[in-house]
Amino acid sequence: MGNPPEQDDPYAGERVRMVREQIERRGVSDPRVLRAMESVPRHLFVPESFRTSAHDDGPLPIGEGQTISQPYIVAFMSEAIRPRPTDRVLEIGTGSGYQAAVLSRLVQHVDTIEVRPRLADMARQRLRELGFANVTVRVGDGHRGLPEQAPFDAIVVTAAPQDVPPALLQQLAVGGRLVIPLGTLDQELVRVTRREDGTDREFLLPVRFVPLTREARRPD
């Protein structure tokens, strides 16, 4: 028999408590999402100085003015795209790579775009070292999306524009789901579903994300 999980991973118990107390109690119920949140080592996606706070109910700084979202929001957005094992997903705003890691446990492949080259490089290395082989990290402008890999079954945006970038809608497959925060000070998380004849838009909950920026792109 192997060692108990707590010996191999001293934060395993904290992740279980995080899921039960912060996520499941607030209504996230998809068992695959809950398992993904329990299995991805969140403490390895935050700076070492914040490791003991990794499972607290709030965002944490990851450098360059960016944050890792609170666990509940990561779980909520993951459930909101209605993930399927065969899905190809685009994430806008890689950050630490944590949301992409969670999504990678739920879908076939994740392409994720980060506008800040240093954050992208760190996330790429971290995801590779931790064995998340079905995630591709790219440097680029999230407003543009990734047309060369479209269409996507789902798109998750982890930074807030004023309105949905048209390119992202164009890159959704019919039946695809886009989850995105919209606004400046007063933001709403929105789910947009593409139909044959247009889109449906649902308002999910109030949120607070960093703005979606258009900084200079560095070629991969």
Q: What is the pLDDT of residues 112-171, one digit of tens each?
A: 999 999 999 999 999 999 999 999 999 999 999 999 999 999 999 999 999 999 999 999
Would you state the pLDDT for residue 218? 44
Would you state the pLDDT for residue 23? 98
Provide mean pLDDT across the span 192-220.
83
Nearest Cα residue to 75 out of 18, 5, 131: 18
CA distances to 25, 31, 167, 186 from 79, in Å: 14, 10, 23, 23
Task: Identify whether 96 is a catalytic site residue.
Answer: no
CA distance 109 to 106: 9
> Is residue 81 classed exposed, middle or buried when 0-12, 13-18 and 19+ CB atoms within 10 A define those classes?
buried
Would you state the pLDDT for residue 10? 86
Nearest Cα residue to 215 out of 96, 111, 64: 64
Radius of gyration of the chain (CA): 17
> At 65, is the pLDDT very low, low, confident or very high (cuts 50, 70, 90)?
confident
- Could you tell me the CATH superfamily of domain 57-207? Vaccinia Virus protein VP39 (3.40.50.150)
CA distance 46 to 52: 10
Res. 5: pLDDT tops 90 = no
Res. 195: pLDDT tops 70 = yes
Residue with the larger pLDDT of the pair 216 and 21: 21
Q: What is the pLDDT of residues 9-46, one digit of tens each?
A: 889 999 999 999 999 999 999 999 999 999 999 999 99
Domain spans of the chain, in order of start = 57-207
The single residue of 39, 53, 69, 96 carrying the catalytic annotation is 69
Q: Please, which residues bridge with residue 27 across strands?
A: none
Would you state the pLDDT for residue 215? 61
CA distance 192 to 179: 6
CA distance 196 to 174: 6
Res. 178: pLDDT tops 50 = yes
Q: What is the pLDDT of residues 86-112, one digit of tens each?
A: 999 999 999 999 999 999 999 999 999
